[in-house]
């Protein structure tokens, strides 16, 4: 699980269910770097009825001005960038990246707040699919009415089709992705769950000045004997990990310096630490800007040994990983 503006959401690969917010990420990479396209026009959600093929939802009439894009007759759940006036009232739609909603505008308890396309950072966009969401059809003329409910409300496979414009003057193009909503992630037990996590830091060395994703792999072993094998395999994925955070501490051996210098504490990394489908927690660390969290600490140089610790929840229990050593050289 991960957090989006303080609300717990489930990434597309972590077995989301129809009853929980599902975060659908989209990354735009051009010429080897994360880049913003000219326009992010819309995101459509359709049921996957043909094994990942989206042709039934695309206008394939070669003479149509909408050729190659989502058909105007397709029924779907829709996300938009909203054009607003000076008071914040919606006045229409636009595809400009500058119109993407910031993460801070998402409120998990308000369905309409999830109907936008969010810009997380350069080249990284997402939409939040949640049971209470509503959207405005493309033909809407009055933003006080004509709101429709989330139609992706059952378990099964779905397609998210993103329509983007690469550069000024380019034609819109669609990008088709897939995800599943699952009911099998609901488990009923007759005894408290017993879980043993095993953590491993992937990196051992980093070059000073590099910006890398620190990764801690987590394997979960379910110790309850009565749980059948199929449920055991489900529970031993990364879907049980919640509220993951990293702590980074610089270690010094010299007696005239602070022996432990706090660089990032758990709360500092909570909003930007992620977990993937396989239970790998990650935090992006820029070693070009290492500085003590507290001004009265003496760093003792940026090169040296650092201590990396992860903290996370599994159900109602709080876990700490071992204190891993990492060398910045």
Give the residue extent of every domain in the chain.
2-181, 195-328
d(CA 238, CA 78): 29
Tokens of 143: 């933003």
| Nearest residue to 81 (alpha-carbon basis) of 97, 69, 70, 66 | 97
Query: Alpha carbon of 203 to those of 103, 166, 197, 222, 282: distances in Å?
Result: 30, 35, 19, 26, 11
Task: Please give the class, per CATH, of domain 195-328.
Answer: mainly beta
**Residue 196: exposure state from Cβ atoms within 10 A (0-12, 13-18, ≥19):** exposed
Bridge partners for 318 per DSSP: 313
Give which of 99, 125, 117, 103 is closest to 7, Cα–Cα: 103
Residue 205, pLDDT score: 95
pLDDT reported for residue 271 = 83
Residue labelled with tokens 């017993």 = 194
- Rounded CA-CA distance 301/134 in Å is 52
Per-residue pLDDT of the chain (329 residues; tens, 9 = 90+): 577 888 888 888 777 777 788 889 999 998 888 999 999 988 888 888 888 888 888 888 888 888 888 887 766 667 777 666 556 566 667 778 888 888 888 887 665 566 788 999 999 999 988 776 666 655 555 555 555 666 666 678 889 999 999 998 899 899 999 988 876 556 667 777 788 889 999 999 999 999 999 999 988 877 777 666 656 555 555 567 888 999 999 999 888 788 899 999 999 998 888 887 678 899 999 999 999 999 888 888 899 999 999 999 888 889 999 999 999 99
Q: Are 78 and 187 in contact (CB under 8 A)?
A: no
Residue 151, token pair as written in the block:
């139609």
Q: What is the CA radius of gyration of the chain?
A: 23
């Amino acid at each position: 699980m991960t957090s989006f503006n303080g609300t717990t959401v489930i990434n597309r690969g972590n077995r989301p269910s129809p009853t929980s917010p599902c975060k659908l990420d989209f990354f735009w990479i051009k010429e080897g770097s994360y880049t913003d396209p000219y326009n992010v026009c819309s995101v459509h959600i359709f049921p996957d009825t043909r094994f990942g093929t989206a042709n039934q939802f695309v206008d394939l009439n070669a003479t149509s001005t909408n050729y190659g894009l989502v058909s105007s007759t397709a029924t779907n759940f829709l996300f938009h960038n909203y054009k607003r006036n000076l008071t914040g009232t919606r006045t229409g739609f636009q595809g400009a990246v500058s119109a993407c909603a910031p993460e801070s505008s998402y409120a998990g308890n308000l369905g309409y707040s999830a109907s936008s396309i969010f810009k997380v950072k350069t080249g990284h966009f997402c939409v939040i699919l949640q049971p209470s969401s509503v959207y405005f059809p493309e033909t809407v003329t009055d933003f006080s009415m004509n709101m429709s409910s989330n139609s992706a409300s059952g378990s099964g496979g779905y397609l998210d089709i993103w329509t983007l414009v690469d550069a000024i003057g380019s034609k819109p193009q669609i990008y088709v992705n897939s995800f599943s909503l699952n009911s099998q992630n609901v488990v009923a037990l007759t005894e408290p769950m017993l879980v043993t996590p095993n953590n491993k830091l992937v990196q051992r060395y980093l070059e000073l000045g590099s910006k890398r994703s620190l990764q801690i792999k987590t394997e979960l072993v379910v110790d309850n004997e009565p749980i059948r094998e199929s449920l055991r395999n489900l529970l031993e994925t990364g879907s049980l990990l919640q509220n993951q955070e990293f702590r980074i501490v610089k270690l010094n051996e010299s007696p005239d310096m602070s022996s432990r210098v706090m660089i990032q504490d758990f709360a500092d990394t909570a909003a930007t630490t992620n977990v993937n489908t396989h239970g790998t927690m990650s935090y992006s660390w820029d070693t070009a800007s290492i500085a003590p969290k507290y001004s009265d600490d003496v760093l003792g140089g940026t090169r040296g040994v650092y201590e990396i610790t992860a903290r996370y929840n599994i159900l109602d229990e709080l876990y700490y990983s071992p204190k891993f050593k990492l060398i910045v050289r």
